[in-house]
Amino acid sequence: MRKVAIPRLLVIALLLVALLLGGTAGYHWLEGWSALDSLYMTVITLTTVGFSEIQTPSPAGKVFTILLILGGVGAYAYAFSSLFNLFLSDAARKNRQRRRRLHMIDKLSDHVIVCGYGRMGSQISARLEDEQLPFVVIDVDEKAVELCERSGRHALHGNAANEETLKLAGISRACSLITVTDADAENVFVVLTARGLRPDLQVIARANYEDSESKLLRAGANRVIMPYAIAGRRMVSLVTRPGVADFLDVVMHSPELELWLEEIVLSSDSSLAGQSLAEVNPRSEFGVTVLAIYPPDQPLLTYPDAPTRLQAGARLIAMGTRDGLQRFAKRASPA
């Protein structure tokens, strides 16, 4: 907006100055009045304040006054119209809102970029809010962006496959990017662009078709989610193992039950590094059960036994109360 506003305001100022100088010069040339009297007559004519004339102008001066009044009315109309468009119009309001959004997004760090605000994007946004993780949404549909903003969420109108849009979303400061647009080809372009800007960024992509999964992985996605495949497995599990499915639902999604699954990383400066599970005794110490361990550069270790040593850099999959998990995570990663 600033690049447009400054020239237009300059045109308005130059137009008003030209009327003042032209009116002053005209009265001085036509009537022979002094510069001050000519300027005075020009000002009261342009402002239409109705003060009395210094002297009765000649016929030529009267014609010049009429033209000056008409020119002044036209200049005022142009000035008011331009100022309205710059500061009070719907476009100006949207520009101000966009600047405020960009200013707020500039303050985000370690946030998640969500590309696409359809049914899946809105669900992802709701879950990120539940986890109190900062995020910003990008969508090409302006109505979707407005809907997102009405929910109090940060959003940008634009194509997520465009480098400038991702830069405005703070990709240099983001921790992850999730692309869930409706088209697999668009998700591939988003992944390619994001990976080019941030080789170290965690990128998660949605795929609607099986043959798109390999393309997204080659493009640079760390994980590819196929919603229809997941939904199919989930429905079958409700038929074959309904109790297990219900238990996982309760553990993962129920706000009433104080039981959570969490991934905890063991840092090198932790007092737990090098100890066995028996020595740490997370169940009695924190009320936490370690279900699995991802040792550094090794495959997943399920149902670890008591002698299992906890190595620095290992990722622990633990279940327990939120308070217990937070205390365990604080011991595992003191920093």
Question: Which residues are 302's β-sheet partners?
Answer: 292
User: Which pLDDT score is estimated for 298?
Assistant: 84
Find the angle CA(219)-CA(178)-CA(103) to the nearest 5 degrees: 115
Find the angle CA(285)-CA(286)-CA(292) to the nearest 5 degrees: 105
User: Which pLDDT score is estimated for 206?
Assistant: 95
What does the DSSP 8-state code read for residue 51? P
More confident residue, 136 or 31: 136
Average pLDDT over residues 87-109: 74
User: Which pLDDT score is estimated for 335?
Assistant: 67
Return mean pLDDT, the chain. 85
What does the DSSP 8-state code read for residue 52? P
Strand order from edge to edge, sheet including 301-302:
260-265, 315-320, 288-294, 301-302
What does the DSSP 8-state code read for residue 259? -
More confident residue, 314 or 65: 314
Alpha-carbon distance of 285 to 334, in angstroms, equals 16
Q: Is 219 helix (H, G, I), strand (E, B) or coil?
A: helix
pLDDT, one tens digit per residue, over 184-205 is: 999 999 999 999 999 999 999 9
Question: Which residues are 139's β-sheet partners?
Answer: 157
User: Which pLDDT score is estimated for 152?
Assistant: 85
Contact present, 168 and 180 (Cβ < 8 Å): no
More confident residue, 266 or 2: 266
Alpha-carbon distance of 104 to 21, in angstroms, equals 46
Instruction: For residue 184, give the amino acid letter.
Output: D
Strand order from edge to edge, sheet including 154-157:
154-157, 135-139, 112-115, 176-179, 202-206, 223-225
User: Which pLDDT score is estimated for 176?
Assistant: 96
User: Which pLDDT score is estimated for 21?
Assistant: 86
Average pLDDT over residues 323-332: 90
Q: Is 32 helix (H, G, I), strand (E, B) or coil?
A: coil
Contact present, 94 and 88 (Cβ < 8 Å): no
Average pLDDT over residues 313-328: 89
Q: Tell me the Cα Rg of the chain.
A: 34
Q: Is 211 exposed, middle or buried (0-12, 13-18, 19+ CB in 10 A)?
A: exposed
User: Which pLDDT score is estimated for 50?
Assistant: 63
User: Which pLDDT score is estimated for 231?
Assistant: 86
More confident residue, 1 or 43: 43
User: Which pLDDT score is estimated for 2?
Assistant: 46
pLDDT, one tens digit per residue, over 249-292 is: 776 666 555 678 889 999 988 889 889 999 999 988 898 999 99
Average pLDDT over residues 150-179: 93
Q: What is the share, in percent, of the chain residues with pLDDT greater than 70?
A: 89
Alpha-carbon torsion (125, 126, 129, 133), positive or negative: negative
Contact present, 89 and 51 (Cβ < 8 Å): no
Alpha-carbon distance of 4 to 86, in angstroms, equals 9
